[in-house]
Structures are given as C-alpha cells and as structure tokens.
Amino acid sequence: MDSGFEDLGFARLDTGRKERTGFPETVFCQGKEDSFLREIFKRLYEKNGEVLGTRASAAQFEVVKAVLPEVRYDAVSRLLTIQSEEKKQTGNIIVCSAGTADIPVAQEAAGTAEFFGCRVRRIFDAGVSGLHRLLAEESVLKAADCVIAVAGMEGALPSVIGGLVSVPVIAVPTSVGYGANFGGVAALLTMINSCANGVSVVNIDNGYGAGYIASQIKRLAERGNG
C-alpha cells in the first residue's frame, strides 16, 4: 500500500498531497541544508513535474540549479519555481500593495497564485495615504475573483478595499514600519479588527499563504461556473 509519503531520513515528502488537496507540497527553503534542499527539490520534481519553493536565497538558487538547470528564481519574491510545462492561467486575482516596501510580500503572493494557475494583476503603491490612487482602480478591484491586500505600517488598506468590493479580501500584514509597528503586529491587529465584511487575515509577511488561498477561491469560482 502506498504510504503517501517518501522517507528520506531528514525529510518525509508528502507525495500524496496533490491528490488529497489539489496542490503539491511546497518547500520552505529558509534554513535548509544545501544537500537536503537539493534532494527535496529533485524528488518532488520527479514525483510532481513541478516544485515551488518559498523564502529561498540567491545562494540556494545556485544549489538547486546545479541539479535542476531549468529552475527559476525571483529575487524580489524569493520564490524558486520549476515546472515541466507552462500552465494555463485563469481567473482574476488582484494583488494590491499599500507601499513599494510591501512589494516583496505582494510578489510572493502573486507568484504563488500564478504557479497554481491563476491569472494575476498587480496594483502597487496604492495605500491609504493617497486614497485617490486606489480609487482609480475601483472598477478593476470589483471585477476580481478575490483581492489580496498587502500592507505594513498601520495596515488600513484591506479595510478600505473590503468596503469597496463584493468579493473576498485576503489581508496580508507586513513587517514594514517604524518601531510601534512591532514588526507587523500593529498591521496584523488592525486587519484582524477590521470593520469591513469579507476580510480574512494571514500571518505577518505570509504572501505564500495568501496566494494559496486565492488559488483555492479561484478554483471554487470556476467550479461554480462550470
């Protein structure tokens, strides 16, 4: 009987995850030994024909590239991706960042959703300190399957978007901000306490988690339209 995982000694690869959830296992690269990371990527690629790695460094990219030359790396989002073929991207996911400093987390969210087959549009630097910049995109936001709102500082952006649209808003607090931001805790608390309906919140700097949930929402939308 297939156990659903492969025991490498240092890791147990969840080879049955795609069958159970529709998404293959993702590799959190940060902190992994080079030899471990190489073997994990190689085995998952052999099993699934694709691998997504998050929080990867440029040095780790070189480590994986040595055994899988086709791997791609985005230095902004820190995503490592490898696919056997280009996926058709469908749906309409909007990723909106409050400030330019929030873009790395926003790009992690966008890149994750794209890896999982979503069509993504990015709206950057549209925070509440210049609300006209966001309102100029109101029609675009309203047409989305869902909106990922990424913000540091006081974290007000998701509440504003939540009051404009009829679709789910996934709020992502970032660690961007001065001392009283407490590494993203201030933004997190603002988002959790949002008075806008339809706003859910992921962990601080968790662009990956937001992109994953957006992909699930997109799939549900397509199932309902099918």
Number of domains the chain is built from: 2
CATH number at residue 161: 3.40.50.1970
Q: Contact, 75 vs 104, CB < 8 A? A: no
Bridge partners (DSSP) listed for residue 172: 150
How does 56-70 read in b/e, with b if 16+ C-beta sit within 10 Å?
beeebbebbbeeeee
Among 166, 157, 150, 53, CA closest to 109: 150
Q: What is the pLDDT of residue 19?
A: 85
Among 30, 61, 83, residue at a domain's last position: 83
Residue 73 contacts by C-beta under 8 Å, 6 or more apart in sequence?
A: 56, 58, 61, 65, 79, 80, 81
pLDDT at 158: 97
Region of residue 117 (phi > 0: left; psi between -120 and 50: alpha; otherwise: beta) = left
Residues of the chain with pLDDT under 70: 1-3, 224-226
* Same structural domain, 153 and 77: no
Q: Are residues 198 and 99 in the same domain?
A: yes
Do 68 and 177 sit in the same domain of this protein? no
The predicted pLDDT at position 2 comes to 62
Q: Do residue 153 and residue 215 come from a single domain?
A: yes
- Domain extent, residue 101, equals 90-225
Given this model, what pLDDT does residue 226 score?
A: 60
DSSP one-letter code for 8: -
> For the purposes of burial, counting CB atoms within 10 Å of the CB of 194, is it exposed (0-12), middle (13-18) or buried (19 or more)?
buried
pLDDT score, position 1: 47
pLDDT at 181: 93
Residue 3 lies in a domain: no
Domain match, 75 and 154 both: no
pLDDT at 154: 94
Helix (H, G, I), strand (E, B) or coil at 125: coil
Supply 14's token pair.
Answer: 């969840």
pTM score: 0.93
Structure tokens at 1: 């009987």
Helix axes 58-65, 34-48, angle to 10 degrees: 60
Q: Cα–Cα distance between 43 and 47 in angstroms, integer?
A: 6
Pair 204, 175: CB distance under 8 Å: yes
**Residues ≥6 apart with Cβ < 8 Å to 88:** 117
